[in-house]
C-alpha cells in the first residue's frame, strides 16, 4: 500500500518518514494513503470476513509487512446503547463507545499498536513516552510484546496503579516533578544521546493513525452512518484529529454519506486550553501555568497542535466544554448506574452531555456517542511504587 505525509495546514506532500511530524510551515504532518489503491481490497463486503480487531483496516494503517504488526487484540470495542438514559434525557439515541475494553484498559492500546509496529518495521529497539498515565502503560505493554526497551516518564501524581502497571510490563519507569510537558522536556533533552524513539503525541506518525480506527469502527458499527454528535475527552487531541481524518477518508472511499458529526471536546476546569480558544474565538494558546485540574489524560496544558484541534471543532460545527471535578464524579456515578466502569475522562463526557442538553445545543432528535476512554479501577487511590522523583534530564542521568 502506498502512503506518504501531508500537511494539514498548507497541504504540502512528502515521503513518509517516521520522525517527520511537522511541516516547515508549522503544520502537523499526517499519513495520507492512495485511497484508490486501498479501495481495491478495503470494501464493505471484505470487512465482513475480517478479524474483529483494529487491524481489519490495515489498508489505512502505515505498515508495509504484516509480520511487523504488534497486536494484543486491540479495537472493535463495544458500542453500547443506553436505553434507560434515553428515557430520561431529551435526545433520540445515546451510545457509549467502551474503549476501556482494550487490552491495556484504555484507548491508548490503539495508538501504541500502530506506533510500536512502525518502530518494529524500522528496526527501532528503544522507545520512550511522556504520559499522564494510560499512554505510558500502553507503550510498556506493546514494547514488551515486541521485545523493545521502554522508558516511561510520568508526572509524580500519576495514579499509583498505572505506575505499577508500567513497571509490571517491564518498562523503565520514572516520576517527574512537574506536568506532562515537563516530562516531555526530559525526553527531548536526552533523545539524541540515549537513542530513544519518541512516541509522544504527534511526535511520530503512528499513534494518531491507531486512534483513527475509533472513527472507522464507529461508522461501521452504526451501519455506515455518522452520529449527530461525538463527545470526546481531550488532552493531547490525537483522538479528535485521528477520527476527523478517518471520516474524511471514509467519504473519499464512498463508504459513507451525509453530514459529518459535530465534534465536542471535554476538558476539566483548571486545564482547558481548547475550551479557552473556542470561547475567545482567537488562535490557540497553551496554558502551562496555574494548572489546577486532576491528574488525568485531560491534563495537557500545551497540546502539540492545539490549532488543528480547534479548527476541527469549528469545521465540524462542534464545541468544547469544561466541567468540574464534582461534575466528573457525578458523571462517574451516572455511568456506573448504567453498568459502565468509567474513568474520569469518560465520566467527563457525561458531564459535558448534561451541560449541552441544558444549553439546548444537543437537540431532542440527535444521536450522540460518548467515548469512555478507560475504566474506573485504574484511578483507585494506591501509591506503593516508592520511586524517586526527578526534575530534569541531568538528574535522570545521575539516577541511572
**Could you confirm whether domain 108-204+382-399 is CATH 3.90.1150.10?**
no
Q: DSSP readout, 343-361?
A: -HHHHHHHHHHHHHHHTT-
pLDDT for the residue numbered 207: 98
Average pLDDT over residues 9-14: 95
Average pLDDT over residues 347-358: 98
pLDDT for the residue numbered 281: 81
Q: Is the pLDDT of residue 47 over 80?
A: yes
Element (H, E) at 165: helix 160-168
pLDDT for the residue numbered 285: 87
- Candidates 81, 98, 77, 73; CA nearest to 374 is 98
Indicate the DSSP class of residue 270. Answer: T
Q: pLDDT digit string (tens) for 200-239?
A: 999 999 999 999 999 999 999 999 999 999 999 999 999 9
The per-residue pLDDT of the chain, averaged, comes to: 96
Q: DSSP readout, 285-327?
A: ----SS--S-SSTT--SS-TTHHHHHHHHHHTT-EEEEE-HHH
Q: Is the pLDDT of residue 165 over 80?
A: yes
Sorting pLDDT into bands at 50, 70 and 90, what band is 51? very high
Q: DSSP readout, 65-126?
A: -GGG---SS-----EEE-HHHHTTSSSSEEEEEEGGGSTTSBTHHHHHHHHHHHHHHTT--E
Average pLDDT over residues 68-79: 98
Q: pLDDT digit string (tens) for 282-311?
A: 889 887 788 999 999 999 999 999 999 999
Q: pLDDT digit string (tens) for 384-396?
A: 667 889 999 999 9
Average pLDDT over residues 310-317: 98
Q: pLDDT digit string (tens) for 136-156?
A: 999 999 999 999 999 999 999
Strands 126-130 and 389-390: unpaired
pLDDT for the residue numbered 376: 96
Task: Give bridge partners of residue 13 from the DSSP assignment.
Answer: 6
Sorting pLDDT into bands at 50, 70 and 90, what band is 383? low
Q: How far apart are CA 241 and CA 36, in angstroms?
A: 22
Q: How far apart are CA 29 and CA 52, in angstroms?
A: 29
Percent of the chain with pLDDT over 70: 99
pLDDT for the residue numbered 385: 66
**Which residue spans of the chain are classified as CATH 3.40.50.1100?**
79-103+207-379, 108-204+382-399
- Candidates 5, 8, 1; CA nearest to 240 is 8
Take residue 281 and report the three cell numbers written for it. 474565538
Sorting pLDDT into bands at 50, 70 and 90, what band is 160? very high
pLDDT for the residue numbered 381: 83
Q: How far apart are CA 116 and CA 329, in angstroms?
A: 34
- Candidates 230, 199, 228; CA nearest to 214 is 230
Sorting pLDDT into bands at 50, 70 and 90, what band is 109? very high
**Phi and psi at residue 342, in whole multiples of 5°?**
-110, 135
Fold of 79-103+207-379: Rossmann fold (3.40.50)
Amino acid at each position: 500500500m502506498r502512503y506518504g505525509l501531508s500537511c494539514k495546514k498548507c497541504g504540502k506532500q512528502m515521503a513518509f518518514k517516521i520522525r517527520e511530524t511537522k511541516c516547515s510551515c508549522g503544520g502537523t504532518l499526517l499519513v495520507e494513503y492512495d485511497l484508490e489503491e486501498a479501495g481495491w481490497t478495503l470494501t464493505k463486503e471484505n470487512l465482513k470476513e475480517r478479524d474483529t480487531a483494529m487491524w481489519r483496516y490495515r489498508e489505512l494503517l502505515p505498515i508495509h509487512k504484516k509480520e511487523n504488526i504488534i497486536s494484543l487484540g486491540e479495537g472493535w470495542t463495544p458500542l453500547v446503547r443506553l436505553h434507560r438514559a434515553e428515557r430520561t434525557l431529551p435526545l433520540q439515541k445515546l451510545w457509549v463507545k467502551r474503549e476501556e475494553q482494550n487490552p491495556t484498559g484504555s484507548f491508548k492500546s490503539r495508538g501504541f499498536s500502530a506506533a510500536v509496529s512502525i518502530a518494529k518495521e524500522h528496526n527501532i529497539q528503544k522507545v520512550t513516552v511522556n504520559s499522564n498515565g494510560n499512554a505510558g502503560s500502553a507503550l510498556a505493554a506493546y514494547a514488551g510484546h515486541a521485545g523493545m526497551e521502554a522508558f516511561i516518564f510520568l508526572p509524580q501524581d500519576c495514579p499509583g496503579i498505572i505506575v505499577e502497571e508500567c513497571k509490571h510490563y517491564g518498562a523503565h519507569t520514572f516520576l517527574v516533578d512537574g506536568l506532562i510537558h515537563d516530562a516531555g522536556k526530559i525526553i527531548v533533552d536526552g533523545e539524541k544521546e540515549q537513542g530513544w524513539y519518541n512516541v509522544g503525541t504527534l511526535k511520530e506518525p503512528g499513534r494518531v493513525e491507531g486512534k483513527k480506527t475509533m472513527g472507522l469502527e464507529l461508522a461501521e458499527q452504526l451501519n455506515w452512518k455518522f452520529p449527530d454528535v461525538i463527545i470526546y475527552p481531550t488532552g493531547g487531541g490525537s483522538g479528535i484529529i485521528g477520527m476527523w481524518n478517518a471520516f474524511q477518508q471514509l467519504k473519499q472511499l464512498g463508504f459513507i454519506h451525509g453530514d459529518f458529526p459535530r465534534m465536542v471536546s471535554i476538558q476539566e476546569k483548571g486545564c482547558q486550553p481548547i475550551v479557552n480558544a473556542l470561547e475567545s474565538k482567537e488562535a490557540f494558546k497553551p496554558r502551562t501555568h496555574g494548572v489546577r485540574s486532576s491528574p488525568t489524560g485531560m491534563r495537557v496544558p500545551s497540546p502539540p497542535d492545539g490549532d488543528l484541534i480547534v479548527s476541527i471543532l469549528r469545521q465540524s460545527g462542534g464545541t468544547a466544554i469544561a466541567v468540574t471535578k464534582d461534575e466528573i464524579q457525578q458523571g462517574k456515578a451516572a455511568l456506573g448506574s448504567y453498568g459502565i466502569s468509567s474513568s474520569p475522562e469518560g465520566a467527563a463526557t457525561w458531564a459535558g452531555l448534561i451541560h449541552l442538553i441544558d444549553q439546548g445545543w444537543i437537540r431532542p432528535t440527535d444521536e450522540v456517542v460518548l467515548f469512555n476512554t478507560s475504566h474506573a479501577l485504574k484511578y483507585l487511590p494506591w501509591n506503593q511504587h516508592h520511586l524517586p522523583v526527578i526534575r530534569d534530564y541531568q538528574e535522570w542521568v545521575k539516577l541511572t
